[in-house]
A and B are shown apart, each in its own frame.
Chain A
Amino acid sequence: MFRQILFTQFRWTRTLLLLMAVFTFVVPTLSWNLGGNVFAAGLAPIAVMNGFSTVGPMLVLGAWTLGFLLVALPWGADSQSRHVYALSLPIPWSQYVAMRFGAGAITLLVPTLALWLGSWLVVAMIDMPPTLRAYPGLLALRFFLGTLLAYALSFLLQYLAGRRAAVVLLVLLVAVFGLGMGLSLANQHELLVRITLWFIDWPGPFSVFASEWRLIDV
């Protein structure tokens, strides 16, 4: 049954996965072309690192986009049939949801592998200073983890809020923004910093995004 769910997941999201795979494959090369020209003038190793400085932000953006869309597309297909297929299966709803989640998580490997290959390709093309090292595997793993987290959060929102997911998301965003503004205006900077750090410091849920997403490092 899981194979069937995986198959439908893949079929419903194949265009998105293909586009994201192309995106992650070209991100390292694109980043190098945007920022790596300085190295041609023979600058220091830090110039090589700076050349890839846009890799991290681009991949974080890609991870959130992919995570959200990868939930929305299958949910849309399921909800069109009012979840009749899912509810008619001889398994509990929770098991179906877990399998749907697992299937989506497995498809995240496609853009991750594309990123890994694209990173290797660009690293092979440049003359690396001896004190620097390339971390294509680590970057791909971070991307996978970031995408998985974004996917999980979108999944939670979609499967709890159902058709009202967009409204709930909007309310959540407004609430977060309002809380931040309120605490700032009330001069509660310390509390605001503590709350933020709880989310982004390890083991906070967003700590993976606070890590260094670098292809090249010492």
Chain B
Amino acid sequence: MCESRATLPRRVAVGVLCIGLLGGSSRLTAQDSLLPARASAAALRAELDRAEREADSLKERVDALASEKEALFTGRFEAGGRTVRFIPGDLTDADRRIIEEGLTRAEASLRARYGDDLAPFRDPVVWSARSLGPNNPRGTFLSAHRRSNAYWGPRDFNMTQPTVELVEAIALDQAGRNLVDRAPRISEFTRSTLVLNDGRRRFARAGREMALSYASAGRECVAGSPAACRAVLTLPGADGGLSLYFSPADYRSVVTSGELPPTADSAQFAARRRCLAGSDTACVTAVAALSRVPNPFSGTLRSTAVEVALELGGRDAPTRLVTTRDGSALQILATVAGVTEDSLVRAWQQRVRTAMDAESPDAGRDGVTVAAWSLLILFGATRRKP
């Protein structure tokens, strides 16, 4: 077996197995098998070296192709404080105009809200626009690239149907991301998200997320408890937010979504099973055994609090957000807003509830539409006699 000809992974596996077998066998067997095993190991090493050389060569080829592709982006245009590069002949004039207008509108929107100092929102990235390809010549990729791809690759925004509104939304999304990326605590708080458009809907979605959450803190916040809202806007400690977000009544849901450690023993699995079967006491044990409790609230939800802080803080708020480094995320946001933490929490809670009320289901509009269409249809139906 140890001298068989086989594929590389198989030979590695066989080699490892042989070494194990040789180690565990008698001295006589070891001496008999040592020479062939050494020969096999040498062959393996040679093959590995060759594969490594091939991989290096391929990498060089990929880098060369990437450089060639980069060299094609010779076109440049400025819009909304950004430089966008493109491949001449690839981007249609119509799409270029859409991108220019969208970026300009985004900048105007930021300027109207935060004044002329937009440095905290500026891109540390190069934007490029390119066609989606022959299947969709009207479509365009708008990409935001880091100058160096060391830790963050390009973000491609697929614009199958480019519109000014879409480009504006992409630019505002990127501006929000740029801002929170400059404030590490806030970036951690919002998971690098800060959307600066479509305000009311986002607040309503935040309220919906809390109302439907399996964490009682979220549900109580929507029900009106400022303390619960404060908990929602606090990042969890070492226990993964177990004491912060959840009540014992939520433990069954926590067990469902949490993860047991890979080293969990049979008692821990049994506790989990009993918990899911309905035992509250087993849930306490099962929750304590979890290695990871997922955060029940999204970064997008928490980013709405950043938006409220920026609104309350006025024109210098983005600068304060970037320059304030001490304290928890909530403390930083209170400083940015220029109010106390409790006031900020209450203001955020109020915004969420107002947005939820405005988005509550209503069939009035449907009623008017159906009535109008039905009358039109009835008029059509009376036009012909049998």
A positions within 8 Å CB-CB of B:
41-46, 49, 79, 82-83, 87, 93-94, 97-98, 101, 105, 129-132, 135, 138, 141-142, 145-146, 148-149, 152-153, 155-156, 159-160, 162, 187, 189-190, 193, 202-205, 207-208, 211-212, 214, 217-218
Contacts and interface: CB of A to CB of B under 8 A. Distances in A.
A44 B253 contact: yes
A152 B368 CA distance: 15
Nearest to A100: B381
B60 to A, nearest CB: 38
A130 B214 contact: no
Given A148-B374, A208-B366, A218 B211 contact: yes
Interface centre among A49, A190, A212 (most CB of B within 10 A): A190
A187 B222 contact: no
**Chain A contact residues, majority secondary structure:** helix
A218 B366 contact: no
A11 to B, nearest CB: 21
Interface string B172-216: 000000000000000000000000000000000001101111100
Contacts of B361: 135, 138, 212, 214, 217
B384 A142 contact: no
A174 B356 CA distance: 43
**Chain B contact residues, majority secondary structure:** helix
B66 interface: no
Contacts of B161: 190, 193
Interface residues on B, range: 35 or more
Given A131-B222, A203-B372, A142 B366 contact: yes
12 contacts: A42-B252, A42-B278, A45-B213, A49-B212, A93-B385, A162-B384, A190-B160, A190-B161, A208-B366, A211-B363, A218-B211, A218-B222
Contacts, number: 124
Interface in B199-252: 207-208, 210-214, 219, 222-223, 249-250, 252
A41 B276 contact: yes
B369 A202 contact: yes
Contacts of B370: 145-146, 148-149, 208
B365 interface: yes
Contacts of A44: 212-214, 250, 253
Contact of A145 (B219, B250, B367): B367
The 9 closest A-B pairs by CB, nearest first: A44-B214, A94-B382, A131-B211, A218-B211, A46-B212, A159-B381, A152-B377, A152-B374, A145-B370
